[in-house]
Amino acid sequence: MRIIILLFFYDQLPISFLASEFSQDQMEEYRARVLLPAFFLTLNYFIYRFFAGKNPTSPLWPIYVISVSLIISHIIGFITFLPLTQDSIIMFLICCCICFVAKTGHNNRKNEIF
């Protein structure tokens, strides 16, 4: 778990962008404009849910929330500065697919529970 956190949130670790077209400056920009805002948006949502006393209705709900946060951050990143490279578009499409799969799985699980 620590390695995954280091790959995305530690600015000076060069391993995280070796397999992509991003330079170190672009990877720092991607972290600052997409990953960190998505992390804080997800964190704020779950803090709100905790204080509101609401529990998720299925185990797939947190995955859906994380993917929606990443999609929102990607869209804002594309509008502001994020370069439209093949890697960034593929990451956006993967997030959209994960969001769709998690939402349909959540709806199926929610119907089974109720």
Q: How far apart are CA 28 and CA 81, in angstroms?
A: 12
Residue 106 pLDDT > 70: yes
Q: Which residue has the higher pLDDT, 87 or 72?
A: 72
In a domain, 8, yes or no: no
In a domain, 49, yes or no: yes
In a domain, 12, yes or no: no
* Number of compact structural domains in the chain: 1
pLDDT at 77: 82
Global pTM value: 0.70
Residue 3 pLDDT > 80: no
In a domain, 84, yes or no: yes
What range does the domain containing 30 cover? 25-113
The whole-chain average pLDDT of the chain stands at 76
Q: What is the mean pLDDT of residues 17-45?
A: 76
Q: At what angle do helices 86-113 and 61-80 cross, to 10 degrees?
A: 150
Q: Which residue has the higher pLDDT, 33 or 18?
A: 33
3-state secondary structure of 114: coil
Q: 35-81 pLDDT, tens per residue?
A: 788 888 888 888 888 888 887 667 788 888 888 888 888 888 888 77
In a domain, 20, yes or no: no
Q: How confident is the model at residue 95 (pLDDT cuts 50, 70, 90)?
A: confident
pLDDT at 97: 92
Half-sphere CA count of 85, side-chain side, radius 13 A? 12
